[in-house]
Amino acid sequence: MKPEVRAGFVAAAVLMGFAPAACAEPPRPAARQTAPSPAMADLLGYLQRQNSTGFIVIQDGTVIVDQSWPAPSTDRLFANFVYGHAASGALLEDVASQQKSFVAVLVAIAIDKGLIDVNAPVSTYLGQGWSKASAEQEASIRVIDVLTMSSGLDERFGYTAPAGTTFFYNTPVYALSKQIVAAAAKQPIEAVTRDWLTAPLGMSNTAWRRRPAALASVGNDTGLVTTPQDVARFGAMVLAGGLSADGTRVVSAEQLHALFDRSETNPAYGRLWWLNGSDYVVRPQIGRAPGQLIPAAPADLVAALGAFDRRLYVVPSRKLIVVRTGAAATDRDFDQQIWLRLMPLIG
């Protein structure tokens, strides 16, 4: 990492609870902050122009960026995703489909507890008749098929293809995964999320909320509402191989890493996580295209992606966590543009 990027941000790391414990020397009070480098100014200016409300970069335990901007006042749709402010002043935002990756970790924890078998039929947990497929077709749909978006069902739960053969990004069917976890644990998803994930990680501003009717119509009526700082804590756990900041084991390394196994129907997708470094990508509403998910980013990047460009990127090779919240960006290649500007800063 370039010296001018690190300078002046150690104090922020301490304040956020991301003190660089692995560093050779303990954190010291930061010197007076100087103006950002031209490269940093370019990155932050770009993010602001692209309707961002929050952006965090943490490398090797040190906070490089923790920036926020006011919510866009003219975006009426974005207002449906905001639930006020945390005590810290950060916006509480529904992070859209980013929630899928959080639920994937809950499934992994349930596997550790012996509560879920991903190769078992979905009906093992939800009973028969949860879909509109025939009894025989439904019985062939496993939990793993739901997690890899290869259930073979359409958004109305009608049968379209044999399970495990076709990638179709299906939010209504994904929403069953929350029901599966709750049924397996015999507890509401809110309690499971708090006890297994958010409390151990100190994510005090993260909770499930009922969505407005206009948003619930997509087939997933609860949103995960959180802050950039809490999302960063979740990312830090992923980067640490399943450990919380105090060393508590939240999820086994084996089951965490299984989330990033490339699925047979889309090598850029694992278990409700997006993966860089594949030869081709199957994207929602777009279909198959050659190349990586984000060509400018490191190949080992894994990502929790949500509508309106809510982003969590974790890059093990760079010991890196990146979080972006906000309204939809105006650039269609937003991910690529972020990484073109970020790569020179992380070294």
DSSP designation for 74: T
Tens of each residue's pLDDT in the chain, 347 residues: 433 333 333 333 333 444 433 333 333 334 344 578 999 999 999 999 999 999 999 999 999 999 999 988 778 888 888 889 999 999 999 999 999 999 999 999 999 999 999 999 999 999 999 999 999 999 999 999 999 999 999 999 999 999 999 999 999 999 999 999 999 999 999 999 999 999 999 999 999 999 887 665 567 889 999 999 999 999 999 999 999 999 999 999 999 999 999 999 999 999 999 999 999 999 998 899 999 999 999 999 999 999 999 999 999 999 999 999 999 999 999 999 999 999 999 97
Measured distance CA(305)–CA(313) in Å, rounded: 8
Instruction: Report how far apart the first and last C-alpha atoms of the chain are (Å, whole number).
Output: 5
Report d(CA 219, CA 156) in Å as an integer.
Answer: 9
Question: How far is Cα of residue 254 from the mean position of the Cα atoms in its chain?
Answer: 19
pLDDT score recorded for residue 227: 97
Question: How many C-alpha atoms does 39 have within 13 Å on its Cβ side?
Answer: 13
Alpha-carbon gap, residue 5 to 346, rounded angstroms: 8
Residues 6+ apart with CB under 8 A from 80: 94, 211, 212, 214, 215
What integer pLDDT is reported at residue 211 of this predicted model? 87
- pLDDT (0 to 100) of residue 34: 59
Q: What per-residue confidence (pLDDT) applies to 217?
A: 58
CA dist., res. 260 & res. 324, Å (int):
21
Residues 6+ apart with CB under 8 A from 172: 155, 156, 157, 218, 219, 220
